[in-house]
Structure 1
Amino acid sequence: MDASLLSDLPAWQRLGGAHTAEEIAQQPSMWTALADVLDTARARLDAFLGDRLRDPGQLVILTGAGSSGFIAEMVADQINAQWPAEVRAVHTTSLLTHPALYLRGDRPTLLVSFGRSGSSPESVAVVELVRDQVADARFLDITCNAEGELAKRGQGRNDTLSLLMPAASCDRAFAMTSSLSSMLLAALSVFDRAPWPQRVQRLLDLAGHGERALQGWDAAVGGLAQAAYTRVIYLGSGPLEALAREAALKVLELTGGRVLALANTPLGFRHGPKSTLNGDTLVVMLRSAQALSRRYEQDLLDELRGDGIAARVISVGPDGSDRADGDFVLAAPALPDPWLAPLWLLMPQCYALQRSAALGMTPDNPFPDGTVNRVVQGVTIHPHG
Structure 2
Amino acid sequence: MNHALSTLPPDTGAEHTVAEIAQQPALWREVGRIVTAERTALDNFLGPLLAAENARIVLTGAGTSGFAGEVLRTALSGHLARRVDAVATTDIVADPRGCFVEDVPTLLVSFARSGDSPESVAATDLADRCLSHVAHLVITCNGKGRLAREHGRKTASRVLLMPVAANDQGFAMTSSFTCMLLAALLALGPHATADFVGELVHAAEHITGGGLDRKLNALLARAPQRLVYLGSGALKGLAQESALKVLELTGGAVVAAADSPLGFRHGPKAVLTEDTAVVVYVSNNPYTRRYDLDIVAELRAALPPGGVIAIAARPDGLAQDDTWIVPVPEGVDDAAFALPAVLCAQLIALRASLSRGIRPDNPFPSGEVNRVVQGVTVHPLPNG
| TM-score category of the 2 structures, normalised to the smaller one | over 0.9
1:209-220, aligned counterparts within 5 Å?
Answer: 209-215=203-209, 216-220=211-215
CA distance in 1 between counterparts of 2:237 and 2:65 reads 11
The equivalent position to 2:224 in structure 1, one of 220, 229, 232, is 229
Question: 39-48 vs 324-333, which deviates more?
Answer: 324-333
1:167-178, aligned counterparts within 5 Å?
Answer: 167-178=164-175
Task: Provide the secondary structure at the position in 1 that maps to 2:229.
Answer: strand
Q: What's the counterpart of residue 324 of structure 1?
A: 320
Establish whether residue 290 from structure 1 lines up as the match of residue 285 from structure 2.
yes
**Gaps spanning 5+ residues in structure 1: where?**
none
Q: What's the counterpart of residue 35 of structure 1?
A: 32
Aligned-partner residue type, residue 277 of structure 1: L
CA distance in 1 between counterparts of 2:185 and 2:362 reads 30
- Superposed displacement of residue 82, structure 1: 1.9
Q: Judging changes above 3 Å, is the alpha-carbon distance between structure 1 residues 307 and 227 closer, same or farther for their aligned structure 2 residues? A: closer
Asked if the contact 1:7–1:25 (Cα under 8 Å) also holds between the matched residues in 2, the reply is no
Q: Judging changes above 3 Å, is the alpha-carbon distance between structure 1 residues 5 and 192 closer, same or farther for their aligned structure 2 residues? A: closer
Q: What's the counterpart of residue 108 of structure 1?
A: 105
Question: 364-373 vs 200-209, which deviates more?
Answer: 200-209
CA distance in 2 between counterparts of 1:249 and 1:299 reads 25
Q: What's the counterpart of residue 275 of structure 1?
A: 270
Establish whether residue 80 from structure 1 lines up as the match of residue 80 from structure 2.
no
Q: What's the counterpart of residue 259 of structure 1?
A: 254
The equivalent position to 1:248 in structure 2, one of 243, 246, 261, is 243
Q: What's the counterpart of residue 379 of structure 2?
A: 382
Q: What's the counterpart of residue 145 of structure 2?
A: 148
Q: What's the counterpart of residue 57 of structure 1?
A: 54
Establish whether residue 164 from structure 1 lines up as the match of residue 158 from structure 2.
no
Aligned-partner residue type, residue 5 of structure 2: L
CA distance in 1 between counterparts of 2:182 and 2:66 reads 14
1:295-374, aligned counterparts within 5 Å?
Answer: 295-308=290-303, 312-321=307-316, 322-333=318-329, 334-374=331-371
Asked if the contact 2:219–2:306 (Cα under 8 Å) also holds between the matched residues in 1, the reply is no
- Superposed displacement of residue 296, structure 1: 1.4
Task: Provide the secondary structure at the position in 1 that maps to 2:170.
Answer: coil
Identity of aligned residues (%): 42
The equivalent position to 2:200 in structure 1, one of 188, 206, 210, is 206
Aligned-partner residue type, residue 309 of structure 2: I
Q: Deviations over 1:182-201 (max 9, x none)?
A: 1011111111245xxx2342
Task: Provide the secondary structure at the position in 2 that maps to 1:220.
Answer: helix
CA distance in 2 between counterparts of 1:122 and 1:366 reads 23
Question: 316-325 vs 37-46, which deviates more?
Answer: 316-325
Moved over 6 A (4+): none
CA distance in 2 between counterparts of 1:170 and 1:329 reads 29
Aligned-partner residue type, residue 121 of structure 1: P
Q: What's the counterpart of residue 7 of structure 1?
A: 6
- When normalised by structure 2's length, the TM-score is 0.94
Q: Judging changes above 3 Å, is the alpha-carbon distance between structure 1 residues 311 and 281 closer, same or farther for their aligned structure 2 residues? A: farther
- Superposed displacement of residue 339, structure 1: 0.7
Asked if the contact 1:114–1:141 (Cα under 8 Å) also holds between the matched residues in 2, the reply is yes
- Superposed displacement of residue 323, structure 1: 3.3
Task: Provide the secondary structure at the position in 2 that maps to 1:51.
Answer: helix
Task: Provide the secondary structure at the position in 2 that maps to 1:375.
Answer: coil
Task: Provide the secondary structure at the position in 2 that maps to 1:96.
Answer: helix
Q: Deviations over 1:139-163 (max 9, x none)?
A: 1100001111111111222111100
Aligned-partner residue type, residue 148 of structure 1: G
Question: 181-190 vs 82-91, which deviates more?
Answer: 82-91
Question: 236-245 vs 316-325, which deviates more?
Answer: 316-325
- Superposed displacement of residue 104, structure 1: 4.5
CA distance in 1 between counterparts of 2:275 and 2:75 reads 36
CA distance in 2 between counterparts of 1:330 and 1:171 reads 24
CA distance in 2 between counterparts of 1:133 and 1:272 reads 37
Q: How many residues align?
A: 377
Asked if the contact 2:282–2:293 (Cα under 8 Å) also holds between the matched residues in 1, the reply is no
CA distance in 2 between counterparts of 1:241 and 1:289 reads 13
Q: Judging changes above 3 Å, is the alpha-carbon distance between structure 1 residues 5 and 105 closer, same or farther for their aligned structure 2 residues? A: closer
**Gaps spanning 5+ residues in structure 2: where?**
none
- When normalised by structure 1's length, the TM-score is 0.94
- Superposed displacement of residue 85, structure 1: 2.9
Task: Provide the secondary structure at the position in 2 that maps to 1:158.
Answer: coil
Question: 107-116 vs 316-325, which deviates more?
Answer: 316-325
Task: Provide the secondary structure at the position in 2 that maps to 1:361.
Answer: coil
CA distance in 1 between counterparts of 2:169 and 2:217 reads 22
- Superposed displacement of residue 8, structure 1: 4.2
Asked if the contact 1:62–1:90 (Cα under 8 Å) also holds between the matched residues in 2, the reply is yes
Q: What's the counterpart of residue 70 of structure 1?
A: 67
- Superposed displacement of residue 311, structure 1: 6.5
Task: Provide the secondary structure at the position in 2 that maps to 1:284.
Answer: strand
CA distance in 1 between counterparts of 2:145 and 2:202 reads 31
